[in-house]
Amino acid sequence: MHQNRNTSQPVVLITGATDGIGRALAHIYRARGARVIGIGRRPAEEVSSDQRSDYCRVDLAQPFASTLVADVLRQRGVARLDRLIHCAGIGSYGAVDDQTPEAIDALLDVNLRAPIALTHALLPLLIAAHGHVTFIGSIAAALPAPNYAVYGATKAALEGFARSLREELRGRVGVQIVHPGATRTGMHAKSGVPPDRVNERRFPSPMWTAERIVRAIERNAAVATTGSVNRLLRCVGRHVGGIADAVAARQVVAPQHTIVDTTHPPGMLSTDGRRHCVVTGGANGIGRAVVERYARDGWLVTIIDREAPQINRAIQDATTFIQADLAHSEGIARALRHLAALPAADVVVQSAGINAVGAFAASAIDEQLTVIDINLRAPLHLTAGLLHLALLAPRATLVFIASLSVYTGYPGAAVYAASKDGLSSYARSLRVALAQRHMNVITVYPGPTRTAHARRYSPDNRRESRRMAPERVAACIATAVERRCARVIPGITNQAVALIGSVAPTLTMYAMRKTIFERLEALSGDVKAGRP
């Protein structure tokens, strides 16, 4: 069993430490006298001799990875952790249609689920040292990335998680995210980028990027970007979206593997000529309001949900129900099989979503990761399947229900915030990717809504009547579909909050902490003390 060799020696754990930026970071911290524990997938014999004593071979894509790392640290006598740097990451290049379920899962597992789970497992060690967590993001988080749509979504989700977690752990553990730009590593080739599409000689070296990441860590900025050019790109992506979208549109690659079922032509109408709307999570809340709106307007509506909806008799003849649990691959595959037997979808509203509220440090990690599965993984899989199988009508519209938390943060539901930031990023990239095919993508950012979902997760329902009715959100969605909008924030108040969150994020985060997180903490204290 290893023991801490020097109790005053800082302990730094770096994932992805055997290649690229992670390896350069490990070299820098070793040179500074830190004990560096490297995590990687390579066999120990392939790791340089100076890394082997504190090297841990772990495949972070595996569900047990975080538990394994925590066990290894315990066996090696590590009782405190000064720095945790999440550098491991993978990419994937290509058309959104060509993203396989396996590729989507790999990106989510390594780039998002692993950092969340590992942070959760190691928080006691970080708290003991008043330590610091750094997530390595990417400038793709702020840009439309039509050829890297899932990758960009994972990095945007990581940023959403980091900023909400930072507020939760304030005063105990520092949290930040650093966004490097393209770096001269093997990641581009592994992602499938054609050699003629990228000139790696123009990119900085891993050591150059690592040095700037270390400087950002020392400044402890909540969000940092390496390099002046990358900072400019991030600024343009966040604040001058039209320019970024136009540039990205010129880079879109065509799909190569779309399946067209000649027995069920894309765009086929129902027997009575009605248009077709598909709604996930259509049994309750906003989803149900959308179902009722489109059914009353004379559309054929298909509901995908794990529980049977209570449908008004007046619209029963217009609705079809597909029972499927979108938290699991079998449920998504089941939904796609049933959709293949129905008319092509003119509108798809991805409304299914769950939450898990409370302090992340005290939460059950399996429950938190299920939020990622339903809120982000399922829409990515379902969208890729709809495109790959050609189940969308010409000029179809895809609608993604994100959250106002994209603008405000959500301490007390950091993983939920991550899922919605990731979904928003994916929708933006998808909009650019599908524009040439005359399809539209809309992202909806509802605020507090009068639903059972909001009632279940809110720490204070005394002012429930002030929340927006789901029928009003559904009306905004229907109008946006007809106008082929790109973004919808229902309600003037929500629009004002989003604007403040864009220009003064510290203010909205402070408000969210006071109105959400601190109330959740107080309720948790009451429960533990047995108070009603």
Q: 55, 148, 151, 407: which is the annotated catalytic residue?
A: 151
DSSP 397-428: EEEEE--THHHH--TT-HHHHHHHHHHHHHHH
CB contact set of 46 (below 8 Å; sequence gap of 6+): 18
The answer to whether 151 is a known catalytic residue is: yes
CA 510/CA 182 separation, integer angstroms: 33
Residue 94 CB-density burial (10 A; 0-12 exposed, 13-18 middle, 19+ buried): buried
Number of residues that make up the chain: 532
Q: How far is CA 501 from CA 67, 409, 445, in A?
A: 36, 8, 13
Q: H helices within 196-351, ranges in order?
A: 206-219, 228-239, 241-249, 285-296, 329-340
What is the helix, strand, coil percentage profile of the chain, to 5? 50, 15, 35
Q: What phi and psi values does residue 198 have, to the nearest 5 degrees? A: -140, 135
CA 202/CA 515 separation, integer angstroms: 47
Q: What number of other Cβ atoms are within 10 A of residue 257's Cβ? A: 10
CA 401/CA 152 separation, integer angstroms: 18
CA 233/CA 506 separation, integer angstroms: 22
H helix or E strand, kind and range, residue 190:
helix 187-190
Q: How far is CA 265 from CA 259, 260, 323, 349, 396, in A?
A: 11, 7, 24, 21, 14
**Residue whose entry in the numeric block shows the structure tokens 């509203």:** 349
CA 348/CA 238 separation, integer angstroms: 26
CB contact set of 392 (below 8 Å; sequence gap of 6+): 266, 344, 345, 348, 386, 398, 439
CB contact set of 465 (below 8 Å; sequence gap of 6+): 450
CA 385/CA 391 separation, integer angstroms: 8
Which residues does the annotation mark as catalytic? 151
